Amino acid sequence: MSPTRERSDAHFVTIDSSDDEIGAVPGTSNEAFNKTPSEAGPQPEVQLLNNPESNTASLLPGNLGFRSFWKAGDYAVGPTVKPPPVQGYLEHARVRPKFLHSNATSHKWAFGAIAELLDNAVDEIRNGATFVKIDKLDMKDNSPALLVLDDGGGMDPDSLRKCMSLGYSSKKSKTTIGQYGNGFKTSTMRLGADVIVFSRATRSSQKTQSVGLLSYTFLRKTGQDHVIVPMIDFDISGHWAEPIICSSREDWEANLKTILDWSPFASKEELMSQFEDIGSHGTKVVIYNLWLNDEGIYELSFDDDAEDIRLRDEVNRGDMKKLTKKTVELQSHISYRIRYSLRAYASVLYLRKFSNFKIVLRGRPVEQFDIVNELKHSQVVTYKPQLSVASKEVTVMTTIGFVKQAPSLNVSGFNVYHKNRLIKPFWKVTAEGSSKGMGVIGVLEVNFIEPAHDKQDFEGSPLFIRLETRLKQMTMEYWNGHCHLVGYQPPNYRSHNVTHGSKVQHSTGHLSKSQDKLLAVRQDIGIAEHEEDSSLHLSIVGLPENDEQRLQEQHQVVRTPGSQSIDQIREENLALFWRCEERMRKETELKQMVENLEKELQEAQGKCAQLASLLEAKKNQKKI
């Protein structure tokens, strides 16, 4: 006898916009949209799956307009038949299939979508997860699919329905990365048109395994006007898997048929075999019908490196031109490789190293890359952001230093993390074209600012603007005090101090005469410290005095008396900004002080009134 489970609010398979109503069972037609499982019965929508008239040429997977992600939303939606009102049930807001694509466009970057799936696995560490595997699967038609597998606690039938619903999130911990309840849907739909999920879990001594299918192809090719997610569940507490029937056996069978018709697995036996590599608990996500780029080839490249997944458009950028030695050096740095290499991006995705958890990419574990260890002349700077009066004081520790290859490598910026997760990699806060701040890299974690939905940026709040301003100031302060340690010209350096051959004392020792000449020439002719070819350095050092003088005369920069450079104006603006911030802080403190004094005054006035009335009463008693 197949077990039957009773669940409240679990009789809709359609994805609603409400966080509390979770779809649970089979395809639901317009007529049965507001009915209970017992009232709805077998759904006529299942018959629509085999309707050849719905498979128009414009919706075929091979059509470029459909298979390219940025064009997949360009299709006309047919008229919707309004369901008849059902007594005792309220009208529901529906989610059209097109919304799945629109929602996924929040991910401009495919690696950002993969990072969402990694976050889900990392959040499962608290439930015993020890690994997450990312790999390529070859489908029967030789097309590639993306596999993400973890050994976390898994999802029971209710949890899977919540995962497939929009906006629902059960992650309320201060340490978990997920919070919006939207990451799974946006990330999977950004990577491919279809995704199938397998999960095993144990809850209250009951062992279950569940399958759910979110298929954009199915929804489009069958002309659905709202999102339908077929799901089936099994009780595996005994010796074999028993179907969990939520409404009727016919509905369960209809869900199974839909999954087999629209997934890469054509039989029930083949579907069940997908649980073999999950073990007793965990979740397996298979994303297939991967999106193509504008050229009609797969956006994700599995062939360039057998142990990596790469972004095809980024890795091929620059192949048609001759690369200089400087450019090759830049492209080998982690700041550039994270643009096209998933292995490189995953290595810096989390700030703290895992002790008992691994990210396994195509059969080989990802070695976590600590950016702090790659800095020289580093120091830790403390920043206490000004939050609201009622908020608890927060201290942010920022490690800042020079990139190891400074001054030859033009790489700079801050790596900003939120709850251990990288949000903004190598965020450049200094002005473009300025040599100040060149080679300066910082690492910090800011948990007091909320990230955007795609977790690739922060919300543009006043807190974020203040953070950006503070990081600019931090960069300038560090640069002014440390730039000479890597060979850059100090801010207060004057060329007339070295033209007569005198040696300038720095904190790291004496500069040679040739180095002094080079710095003097740099200052006068305005040569940037980040030019493309370092051979220019060698050509200037050791020039005869006449040639050197002639070079200075040819490239002498005209300066008007009393003129200010952009950097000087910027520094003055920063100083004014922080004076304004300090005044605002003092104003807040004064307002708080005034409020406290007013309260004390009211209390004193109350006591005076009490004493006056008591004194008046005593006077009256004496008169009597």
Which residue has better confidence, 500 or 356? 356
Q: What is the pLDDT of residues 122-168, one digit of tens each?
A: 999 999 999 999 999 999 889 999 999 999 999 999 999 988 887 55
Give the pLDDT mean for 527-535: 38
Alpha carbon separation from 327 to 98, 148, 206, 438 (Å, rounded): 42, 34, 58, 16
How far is residue 353's CA from residue 368's CA, in Å, rounded to a whole number? 7
Q: What string of DSSP letters covers 412-479? A: -EEEEEETTEEEEEEE--SPTT--TTTTEEEEEE--SSPBPTTSSSB---HHHHHHHHHHHHHHHHHH
What confidence score (pLDDT) does residue 400 get?
98
Which segment of 516-520, 532-536, 545-549 scores lowest on mean pLDDT? 532-536
| pLDDT tens-digit readout, 228-267 | 899 999 999 988 899 999 889 999 999 999 999 999 999 9
Mean pLDDT confidence for 577-599: 82
Once rounded to an integer, what is the mean pLDDT over residues 518-524?
A: 45
**How much is the average pLDDT of 185-201?**
94
> What pLDDT is recorded for position 431?
85
Assign 3-class secondary structure to 570-589: HHHHHHHHHHHHHHHHHHHH
Spatial contact of 401 and 375, defined as CB atoms under 8 Å apart: yes
**Separation CA 334–CA 508 (nearest Å):** 29
**What is the pLDDT, as a whole number, of residue 372?**
96
Give me the pLDDT at residue 234, please: 97
Query: 20-29, 359-368, 421-430, 538-547: lowest mean pLDDT where?
Result: 20-29
261-280 pLDDT, tens digit per residue, is 999 999 999 999 999 999 99
Question: Over the chain, what is the mean pLDDT?
Answer: 77
82-90 contacts, C-beta under 8 A, 24 or more apart: 82/30, 83/30, 83/31, 83/33, 83/34, 84/31, 85/34, 86/34, 86/35, 89/34, 89/35, 90/34
**CA 183 to chain centroid:** 10
Beta-sheet pairing, 358-361 with 131-138: parallel
Q: Give the global pTM.
A: 0.70
Q: Among 327-336, 343-352, 498-507, which stretch is predicted with the lowest mean pLDDT?
A: 498-507
* Percent of the chain topping pLDDT 70: 69
